[in-house]
Amino acid sequence: MDKVIIFDTTLRDGEQAAGGSLNIQEKLEIARQLEKLGVDVIEAGFPVSSPGDFEAVRSIAGEIKNTVVCGLARAHPKDIDAAWDAVKIARHPRIHVFLSASDIHILHQLKKSRDQVLEMSRDMVMRARNYTDDIEFSPMDASRANPEFIYQVLEGVIESGATTLNIPDTVGYAIPGEFGRLIEGILNNVKNIDKAVISVHCHDDLGLAVANSLEAVKCGARQVECTINGIGERAGNASLEEIVMAINTRGDFFNMMTGIDTRQIYKTSRLVSELTGFTVQPNKAIVGANAFRHQSGIHQDGVIKMPKTYEIMDPRKVGIPSSSLVLGKLSGRHAFNERLAELGYSLSEEDFNRTFQAFKELADKKKEVTDRDIESLVAEEMRTIVEVYRLERIQVTCGDRGIPTAAVKLIGPDGETLSDAALGTGPVDAVYKAINRLVKVPNMLTEFTVKSVTEGIDAIGEVLIRIESDGVTYTGRGADTDIIVASAKAYINALNRLLASRKTAV
């Protein structure tokens, strides 16, 4: 199998993302992790751009041992000299020279002729070659350049000593088939192309950076320039994790390999996100929070029976311990039962049916039901197995200028519906007074505690109360996203315990 060289430019092009600046220590930390990841080349920065970037590149060059350390340089003597000074202490140094090659850049940005660009390209590659044998050259904006002119440039820089030829889709303009034909054209028309490796560097302005990169690999490129999480200038670069896992997962199609330790992908993604401050979108391929999470009941059922039904990759391959089933209103009984088992619960069919119904009711109120939600539901349902009275409905009105009022409907011992209303000093007091009017069991409230079971604005609140009757204390608990409803459930739970104990005593 051919090897695809992974050239990581997170520390150079990735840092060019607006707001993504990194200090020297942060760059070093990422570089160390990139070496663990197994990238072949680290483009550590653009040394001439600032003293800080020069020091960062030099620090990385002095520490990284198993990976090529590359410095970027424009086709200008000062840039090339600075790049060499920064990387020369590296065990494996590289200088990456670039110069615009499209007519729109040559005429409007460089204000030079094609002949001048040809001469500058050759001369500056030759200057870099005086320092090291590992020279990369990029004809910037190649995807919008005249192909015949690109062939001329590449042939000239190979003669001058370039060993890697990078074909950039600088502004993300190319379409995969078109970009693939450009790579094939280079292989067929540059007579000394066998002396160099073809690389590609694609931007994501049209969302095609990864597709263009993979098409180029299919057509003969053997180095891909990419960044962690796809960060970079404007819409970003080709995403390293997507490139690597596409080649890894579709070995049947590409018949190629990389040297990446894929188990380090997720860790590297988290590190870059944390240090740059760029949050990874939940639906991001490979490393997004939802990449291995399943919410549809049909999908959950399939994954439980055989993961490959809906997972083309094992999450452990990218450093994620396991996939997860997101429990919500679309989840089915199978997924809910599986999560109960994972949490250590083994319920009878009757208890399961009741708990599942409570779960569905909660799922209609929350986007996602967490493990702590489920634990609270199970605890509540197990507490209320013996129900003398059951809360059917509750309605409360309150406010700083109104009298708190509660209307309560209960289902009684014989299945009859009982309703009443009451006023109180607050909404909970009004609820309790209304319940007392219906149940008619003398008791005194001795403790009332509220806590949040889960996090977020839609968190479940749990209420714990204690009531006393004839010198005996009874505890009740209730949980709900509405704290007033939770309070009513807790009170009913305590009253049911009181009534059940009296029945037992008789």
User: What pTM value is reported for the model?
Assistant: 0.68
Residues with Cβ within 8 Å of residue 253, at least 6 apart in sequence:
none
Residue 139 has pLDDT above 90, yes or no: yes
Between CA 304 and CA 375, with CA 328 as vertex, the angle to 5 degrees is 85
Residue labelled with tokens 């690389």 = 199
Residue 20 has pLDDT above 70, yes or no: yes
Task: In whole angstroms, give the CA distance from residue 101 to residue 120.
Answer: 11
3-class secondary structure, 476: strand
Arithmetic mean of pLDDT, 421-433: 94
- Contact by Cβ (8 Å): 138, 168: yes
Closest by CA to 242, choosing from 300, 312, 139, 182, is 312
Considering the chain, tell me which residue range(s) the CATH 3.30.160.270 domain(s) occupy: 384-505
Instruction: Flag the least confident range among 55-69, 256-270, 361-375.
Output: 361-375
DSSP line for 181-246: HHHHHHHHH-TTGGGSEEEEEEB-TTS-HHHHHHHHHHTT--EEEEBGGG--STT-B-BHHHHHHH
Residue 471 has pLDDT above 60, yes or no: yes
- Contact by Cβ (8 Å): 141, 170: yes
- Contact by Cβ (8 Å): 204, 236: yes
Phi/psi-derived region of residue 223, left when phi > 0, alpha when psi is between -120 and 50, beta in every other case: beta
Residue 344 has pLDDT above 90, yes or no: no
Phi/psi-derived region of residue 207, left when phi > 0, alpha when psi is between -120 and 50, beta in every other case: left
For domain 293-382, give its CATH number from 1.10.238, 3.90.25, 1.20.1280, 1.25.40. Answer: 1.10.238
DSSP line for 357-419: HHHHHHHTT-S-B-HHHHHHHHHHHHHTSS-SSEEEEEEEE--TTS--EEEEEEE-TTS-EEE
CATH class of the domain at 2-276: alpha beta
Cα first-last separation, the chain = 82
The CATH architecture that domain 384-505 belongs to is 2-Layer Sandwich (3.30)
Arithmetic mean of pLDDT, 303-329: 70
283 φ, ψ to 5°?
A: -95, 15
Note the pLDDT of residue 384.
47
Considering the chain, tell me which residue range(s) the CATH 3.20.20.70 domain(s) occupy: 2-276
279: pLDDT confidence band, cut at 50, 70 and 90?
A: confident
Arithmetic mean of pLDDT, 92-101: 97
- Contact by Cβ (8 Å): 344, 337: no
- Contact by Cβ (8 Å): 475, 494: yes
CA atoms within 13 A on the CB side of 223: 23
Looking at every residue in the chain, the average pLDDT score rounds to 88
Residue 443 burial by Cβ neighbours in a 10 Å radius (0-12, 13-18, 19+): buried
Arithmetic mean of pLDDT, 87-98: 98
What would the pLDDT profile of 346-367 be if each residue is shown by its tens digit?
Answer: 777 887 888 888 888 877 877 6
Arithmetic mean of pLDDT, 32-55: 96
321: pLDDT confidence band, cut at 50, 70 and 90?
A: low
- Contact by Cβ (8 Å): 36, 264: yes
CA atoms within 13 A on the CB side of 199: 27
- Contact by Cβ (8 Å): 294, 325: yes
- Contact by Cβ (8 Å): 77, 130: no
- Contact by Cβ (8 Å): 22, 276: yes
- Contact by Cβ (8 Å): 328, 361: no
Alpha-carbon 183 to chain mean position: 32
Residue 343 has pLDDT above 90, yes or no: no
Residues with Cβ within 8 Å of residue 400, at least 6 apart in sequence:
none
- Single-letter code of the amino acid located at 270: R
Q: Which helix (H) or strand (E) holds 428?
A: helix 427-439
Closest by CA to 444, choosing from 466, 421, 429, is 466
